[in-house]
Structure formats: structure tokens, C-alpha cells
Amino acid sequence: MKVILALAVPAMIENMLQTIVGFVDTLFVSNLGLGEVAAVGVTNAILAVYLAVFLAMGVGTSALIAKNVGAGNFAKAKSIARQSTLLSALLGILFGLITFFFAEPLLRLMGAEASILADGVIYFRIVAVPSIFISLMTIFGSILRASGDTKTPMKVGIWVNLIHIVLDYVLIFGFIGINGFGIAGAAWATVIARIIGTLALYHKIQKSNLSISWRNGGSREFLLPLLQISFPAAIERLIMRFGQVLYFGLIVRIGADVYAAHTIAGNIEVFSYMPGYGLAVAATTLVGQNLGANRRKDAYRYGILTTGIAVIFMSFVGVLLFFLSPIAASWFTDQAEVIQMVTTALRIDAFAQPFLAEGLVVAGALQGAGDTKSPMYSTAIGMWLIRVVGVYVLSIHYGLGIAGVWLSIAVDLFVRAVFLYLLFKRKMRLDDHVHDSSKNLSV
């Protein structure tokens, strides 16, 4: 257990900090006006698609590096780190060029109105033209975590996020006679923080046992495996994003108050994901490293043990959601009807937390084993067949409102958890007696 938590806790803290900084960033921008908030919101919706691709590259990188580190093949791990860095840089440059030339059409496509388009284009171009720093910061973090070092990305994340908050305030509002730059200042604060984070993580990699050499052309043997693992992961994230757009549209049809309550519930629920995300990182690393060392039984047991810890953590979170949801909802609104809807949503979600935990961590374990197709299939089935159809049938056809929305989400999480667990067990090709016959782990 100590091994698992040593990997998971820093990743949890890092995710928590990113969530908090995003909240603070929105809070600062909200002081400029609702138009600026809308401009940032629309831009972030597009950036979420960019980030989905970069994170998918990180999944492929983590799986391959973890296996080679586990096998003691550090030369191959370094080669993978080099190739993934070059590929991520190229992707970052590509998305930067797309932003430079098509910023306004992309924002219009996302439904940006004329009143927010000017601010949106300014913010979007400043933040996303240098997308290379988003892609490199993502991949550098994945390289370090795959080697078993989750503390360094956490420490860098702490400093970067603190710098981001300070720069946000100074560049948005000004300081000691220096005029602020408004929404452009918010964008530049984000870019500067990312540049600092990228350089800091690269420096740490170069001091680690996965230091990247640029002296020769290097081997390209891992380029195809990287793409084969990363492509399904990218498709999975895009399926999720576009599915969200569709079922959010269905929720809007139910009513503006229901959509507002759903949004508030989602903002509260996001904190429950932190234990699952952190433990998923641990599962990816430990399963990958043990498979690389040809310890298949240990890989299986680490996957199951990490899942069990996640279920315990997030079941406790579910208890908190059930009893504290009315209080949390009152922080966002004083309308009794909306508070009641948020409470209903979160109390349904409270019972789904164990399944959310299992789905997140087993997906991470499968990715550590190099299987990114199974999570992709589960996301496609869950998002498009269960959530979208469920919201239409339960909320619109039968008039269950927000209860129908979150019941659909709960069913999706349950089906996904069972589906992924059965696939993971099949992937490991182990029977139930493995628990008795495998050697003891250091816990």
C-alpha cells in the first residue's frame, strides 16, 4: 500500500492544485465582466480538445516507458522519451498554427457571439498559439511519472500554480502603478506559467535516469508503438468531449434551471475525482513496470489492490457528498429549487462513487498494460449509448429532470466499471486462484 500511495498522493495533490487554480483564474476574470468569463469559457472548451490529444500522447508514453523501466531497459526508455518529446513538440506546433490562422472561425463554431468574439480571439491566440508548451509540459510530466517519480511533477506544479496566481492578479489588474492588461493579462499569465513549468520539468528529466540525448538522430523504432497506443486514447477523449456537448445540449432542452443545477453539481463533484485520478496514475505505472519485469501476477494484484484503495477513498467521498450536498450547493446559489436539484444530483452520484473509482483506476491499469482500446470502447458505449440515450429517455421522455440525468450517469459508471474489470482480468489471463499463488508484495 505504501508503494501505491507514494505514487498516487502527489498526483492527487497536483490535480487538486490545478482545479483550485482554474477556480481562482475564473474568479479573477469574473471581476472584468461576464463577457470576459464567457470568452475564456469558450476558449477553454476548444483547448480541452487540444489537451485531450496531448494527454493521449502522455498515456502512450507512460505505458511504454513504465514497461521498459520495469524491465531495466533504460536505454529504450530514454529513446521513447526522446521520440515522444519530438512528437509532442510537433503536435504543439501544429495546434499553434491552427489557432493562429483559424482562431475566429473556431470560436464561431463553438457558438461564440459577436459580443465576446473580440476578447475570445485575443485570449485564444495568446494562450494557444504557443501550444508547444502545453504539449511538452504534459509529456514531461508523463515521462517522470512513468519512471515512478510523481513527486517532481507535484512540486513543480505547486510552484507553477503559485506563480500563475500571482501573475494572474498582476497582469489582469496591474500593480504599483503598472496598468493591468485585462483578459490579455490572464492569457499571458497562463503562458508564462506554462513556460516555467516546461523548463523546470525538462531540467528534472535531464538530471534523472531518463535524460534525453540530442547528440544523434536516435532510433525511431518506438514511433509506431507510441502512435498505436496513443491514438485510441486520443479518440476516447474526443468521444468523451463531443458526447458531453451532445448531452449538455439535451440538458439545456430540459430547462435553464436544470442546466444551471447540473453545472453546479459538476463543479462540486469534480473534487471527488482527485483520489481516482491519482490512483489511476499509480495503477498505470505499477502495472506497466511489473509487466515490463515479466511479473504478470504482481501487475494484476497491484491493479486490483489500487482499485480497492480507490473504492474505499471514493466511497468515503460519496458519504460526504450525500450529507453535505445541500451546504455545498448553497455556496453557489440561494435559490431553494436549484439547491434541491443539486442535492438530488449529488446524492445519486454519491452511490455511484465506488463505480467511478473502479472505472478510473482499472482504465489506468489497462493503459499501463498498453491497452488503450478497451477504455475507448467503454467511453463510447457509456457516453453515447447510456448517457445520451438515458438523458433523453429518463429526463425528457419521462420527465425526471435532473434525477434522470444523474441516474443515466450512475448507470454509465456502473456498466463501465464492470466492463473494464472483466477486460482487465481477461487481459492478465489470470484465474481467481492468483490471489493465493502469487508472491507477497511489499505493501
Query: For 112-136, how does the pLDDT look when each residue is reduced to its tens digit (9 = 90+)?
Result: 777 778 888 999 999 999 999 999 9
Instruction: Report the mean per-residue pLDDT for the chain.
Output: 85
Percentage, residues of the chain above pLDDT 90: 34
pLDDT at 176: 77
pLDDT at 39: 78
Asked which of 94-103, 150-159, 307-316, 341-350 is least confident by mean pLDDT, the reply is 150-159
Is the pLDDT confidence value at 437 over 50? Answer: no
Is the pLDDT confidence value at 35 over 90? Answer: no
pLDDT at 22: 64
Can you tell me the mean pLDDT for 240-248? 76
* Rounded Cα–Cα distance for residues 286 and 23 (Å): 32
Query: For 197-214, how does the pLDDT look when each residue is reduced to its tens digit (9 = 90+)?
Result: 999 999 999 998 888 887
* Rounded Cα–Cα distance for residues 298 and 326 (Å): 43
CA 187 to the chain's CA centroid:
21
Can you tell me the mean pLDDT for 345-367? 93
Residues 125/161, Cβ–Cβ less than 8 Å? no
pLDDT at 354: 95
pLDDT at 127: 92
Is the pLDDT confidence value at 19 over 80? Answer: no
Domains of the chain: which residue ranges? 1-221, 231-443
* Rounded Cα–Cα distance for residues 404 and 394 (Å): 5
- Give the model's confidence band at 434: pLDDT under 50 very low, under 70 low, under 90 confident, else very high: very low
Is the pLDDT confidence value at 24 over 80? Answer: no
Tell which residue, 426, 410, 311, 294, has the closest CA to residue 366.
426
Instruction: Find cell 490562422 and name the residue.
Output: 101
Residues 286/7, Cβ–Cβ less than 8 Å? yes
* Rounded Cα–Cα distance for residues 363 and 131 (Å): 27
- Give the model's confidence band at 372: pLDDT under 50 very low, under 70 low, under 90 confident, else very high: confident
- Give the model's confidence band at 440: pLDDT under 50 very low, under 70 low, under 90 confident, else very high: very low
* Rounded Cα–Cα distance for residues 44 and 273 (Å): 20
Tell which residue, 428, 426, 421, 394, has the closest CA to residue 410.
394
Is the pLDDT confidence value at 218 over 70? Answer: no
Tell which residue, 103, 156, 158, has the closest CA to residue 126.
103
Query: For 303-339, how does the pLDDT look when each residue is reduced to its tens digit (9 = 90+)?
Result: 999 999 999 999 999 999 999 999 988 887 788 888 8
pLDDT at 369: 87
The sign of the dihedral angle between the CA atoms of 363, 366, 372, 375 is negative
Q: Which residues contact 262 (CB under 8 A, 6 or more apart)?
A: 251, 345, 402, 405
The x, y and z cell numbers of residue 168, run together, are 494572474
Can you tell me the mean pLDDT for 337-357? 93
The x, y and z cell numbers of residue 239, run together, are 468521444
Residues 2/441, Cβ–Cβ less than 8 Å? no
Q: How far apart are the first and last CA of the chain?
A: 4
Query: For 165-181, how does the pLDDT look when each residue is reduced to its tens digit (9 = 90+)?
Result: 899 899 999 887 778 88
Most confident of 141-150, 221-230, 354-363: 354-363
Residues 257/338, Cβ–Cβ less than 8 Å? yes
Can you tell me the mean pLDDT for 256-273? 80
Using the 8-state DSSP alphabet, how is residue 252 labeled?
H
pLDDT at 216: 65
pLDDT at 34: 67
Is the pLDDT confidence value at 110 over 90? Answer: no
Report the b/e string of 216-240 with b at 16+ CB within 10 A.
Answer: eeeeeebeeebeebbbbbbbbbbbb
The x, y and z cell numbers of residue 148, run together, are 515512478
* Rounded CA Rg of the chain: 22
The x, y and z cell numbers of residue 401, run together, are 429532470
Residues 356/275, Cβ–Cβ less than 8 Å? no
pLDDT at 431: 39
**3 state DSSP class of 319:** helix
Point out which residues pair with 174 in neighbouring strands.
179
DSSP 390-418: HIIIIIIIS--THHHHHHHHHHHHHHHHH
* Rounded Cα–Cα distance for residues 8 and 33 (Å): 38
